[in-house]
Structure 1
Amino acid sequence: MSEPTLQENLLGAYLKDRRSKLDPAAFGFPAERRRTPGLRREEVAQRANISPTWYTWLEQGRGGAPSADVLDRIARALMLTSIEREHLFLLGLGRPPEVRYQRSEGVTPRLQRVLDALSPSPAVIRTATWDIVAWNRAATVMLTDYGALPPTERNILRFIFLDPRVRAAQHDWQSVARFVVGAFRADAARAGAAAVVQPFVDKLCRLSPEFAALWRDNDVRTHGDGVKHLRHPILGPIAFEYSAFAVDGRPDLSMVVYNPVDAEVVEKIRGLIDAAL
C-alpha cells in the first residue's frame, strides 16, 4: 500500500514543515551536514519522549490518530506557539486543545490606541475573569475611574456587588447582577479559569450574600450585545448599545464598547472628557 498523498496527510506535512524550521544546534544536537534542514525525526521523538517509530508513522499518516498527550509533547518538542499548537490539534484530532488559562499581562500600546480612537464611546478591555486591564477616557468619565483604583480592585463583579456608587448607577441592579454573574461563570469556564477564580468567588460569597445566592443558581449567560441603561451623576439617565468583541490572538481578553444611542449625549460625553483633561 502506498503512503498517503501530501493532500491526504496534512498532519504529517505540518510536522515535517515545523521540524525543518528548527536549528539543531539550538537544541544541543550535532550541527554536521544534513540532507535536509532542521531536526531529524528521531530528534523530535527524543525531545517529545515518544517512540521514533511512532513519530515516523505520524509523519507518514500511519498508525491512527494520536492522543492529545502525544500532540502536547510534540508541540513542546517543536516549540510551537499557541496558535500553532491549536492548528496541530485541529489537524491531528479535528478539535482544538483544552484551554490553558494564562493571566493577562495587560494590553499592547497598539490595542490601547484602538480604545482611545473609539472615544467618545466608552470602551474597556476585560480578562476572562472580568478584570479591567485597559480603558479609554470616555470609560473613565462615564463608567469608573479605573486608574484611581489598585489593579486588584478593577473587577466588574467587585464593582457591581461591593461598590454602592456603581450599584446606584444601574437602571435595574437585580437584572444586571444576575446577568454579570452568569456571563462571568461562562467566560471563566470557557477560558479554563474556573479553578483560578474560585478563591475570588469564595471571598465575594463571604462579602456579598446577594452574590452568593446568585452563584448558587449556576446560571450561565453570554455577553454578546444589547442595551445598557445607566444613571450618570452628572448627565442623568443614559442608554448605550454595547457589543463585546474577542481580541484576535488574545483568547484571555475581550473588548466591550458602549455606543451612546443619543447623538446629544455624544457631545455631552465629549464635554466631560474635555473638562477632565
Structure 2
Amino acid sequence: MTPSTAPPTPLGDFLKAHRAALTPAAVGLPDTDGSRPADGLRREEVAQLASISPEYYTRIEQGRRHASAPVLDVLAAALRLTDTERSRLHELAGQEAPPVGGGRASQTAQPQLRRILDGLTTLPALVMGRRMDILAWNPLGAALLADFSLLPAERRNYAWLMFRDPAMRALHQDFENIGAVCVAVLRREAGRRPEDQRLADLVAELRGTDEDFDRWWGEHKVASDNGGSKRLRHAVVGDLTLDWDALTCAHDPTQRLVVWTAEPGTPSHDRLATLAALTADARTD
C-alpha cells in the first residue's frame, strides 16, 4: 500500500478538517495564485506556518511520522486550535497534552543547541525562540551584536532590540530593509500565535514607541526567517557583509540556531576572524 492510498487516520482527519476551515488571509498568508482547487489551507501552507518541511507535515497527516509534543504545539498554533482542540490533537497523537500555557510563557534553549553554540568559536551564533526571543548565544555572537548578558531576560528579544536599542539600530547599515523584514517576521509569528499575550504586548509597545515599526506593521507583510544577508558597521572591526542562516531544531521547531558567516577571501571574512581572535583573547585574560 503506497502512502497516497493509505487509509485515513483519526489524526489525519482531524488535521485535514482544521486546515480546511482556514484561509490564507485568515493566517496572514497571501493567496498568490488567485485560484485554489479547494477551500482551506494547503499542506504546504500549514508546514510554512509551523516552520517544518511540507514532507514532514505530510507524513504526520498520513500517519507515517510520529510528531513530538513541541511539533504538535506549533501545529496547534498554526491551525488556530482552541485549548480543547489542542488537547484533542495531542490525544490523537497518543500523547498527553502539556498544561495550557505550560512552557509557553518562557523558553530555555534546547541542550543540543547549547552544545553547538559551545563548539562554534569562529562563527557568531545565537538561539532564537518564540516571539524572536534570544534564548542563548556564544561569545562571538555577543561581540558581534550586543552583550545580551547585561540585559534583563524580558529585553532579550531581537525585535525589541532592533527598534528600542539605538546601538543595535546603528549597527545595521541597511536598517530600512532589515527593520522591515524584522517586522514582517514578527507579524508572521503573531499570526501563528494569536493567543500569545506577551507577543501582543511586545507588538503594542513597539507600535506605540517607534514610527517605523508602526508603519511597517500597518503594511501587513509577512516574511520567513530562514536566512539572508546583512551589512553591519561594527565599532571594533569596521564594515561587515555577513550571510545568516536559521536552522530549525528537530526537537523543538519553535527554536532556531542562527549563524552568521562571511564569504572566504573577502574583507568581511578577515574582519570576522579578527573579531573572533579578539573575543578569544578577552575570554582568556
TM range (shorter): 0.5 to 0.7
Which amino acid counterpart does residue 244 of structure 2 have in structure 1? Y
Where relative contact order (Cα < 8 A, 6+ residues apart) is larger, the structure is 2
Shift of 1:271: 1.7
Is 1:252 the counterpart of 2:258? The answer is no
Q: Give 2:113's aligned residue.
A: 111
Cα distance in 2 between the residues matched to 1:214 and 1:74 = 35
Which amino acid counterpart does residue 199 of structure 2 have in structure 1? V
TM-score, normalized by length of structure 2?
0.62
Correspondence for 1:130 among 112, 129, 132: 132
* 8 Å Cα contact 1:129/1:187 also seen in 2: yes
* 8 Å Cα contact 1:116/1:136 also seen in 2: yes
Shift of 1:181: 0.1
Which amino acid counterpart does residue 222 of structure 2 have in structure 1? V
TM-score, normalized by length of structure 1?
0.64
> Could you say if the C-alpha distance between residues 257 and 72 of structure 1 is closer, same or farther in structure 2, counting changes exceeding 3 Å?
same
Cα distance in 1 between the residues matched to 2:85 and 2:162 = 44
Cα distance in 1 between the residues matched to 2:179 and 2:160 = 11
* 8 Å Cα contact 2:90/2:97 also seen in 1: no
Q: Give 2:40's aligned residue.
A: none
Cα distance in 2 between the residues matched to 1:184 and 1:70 = 25
Shift of 1:101: 8.4
What is the CA RMSD across the aligned residues, in angstroms?
2.9
Q: Give 1:230's aligned residue.
A: 232
Shift of 1:275: 3.1
Cα deviation code 1:174-200 (max 9, x no counterpart): 111101000111133235555541121
Which amino acid counterpart does residue 279 of structure 2 have in structure 1? I
Q: Give 2:27's aligned residue.
A: none
Correspondence for 2:277 among 252, 271, 274: 271
* 8 Å Cα contact 2:123/2:276 also seen in 1: no
Unaligned runs of at least 5 residues, structure 2: 1-5, 12-80
Shift of 1:104: 3.8
Correspondence for 2:176 among 174, 197, 200: 174
In terms of Rg, which structure is larger?
A: 1
Cα distance in 2 between the residues matched to 1:127 and 1:221 = 16
Q: Which one is further off, 210-219 or 176-185?
A: 210-219
Cα distance in 2 between the residues matched to 1:246 and 1:256 = 9
Q: Give 2:166's aligned residue.
A: 164
Unaligned runs of at least 5 residues, structure 1: 1-6, 13-67, 84-99
> Could you say if the C-alpha distance between residues 78 and 250 of structure 1 is closer, same or farther in structure 2, counting changes exceeding 3 Å?
closer
Q: Which one is further off, 147-156 or 186-195?
A: 186-195
User: Match of 1:252, SS?
Assistant: coil
> Could you say if the C-alpha distance between residues 9 and 210 of structure 1 is closer, same or farther in structure 2, counting changes exceeding 3 Å?
closer
User: Match of 2:187, SS?
Assistant: helix
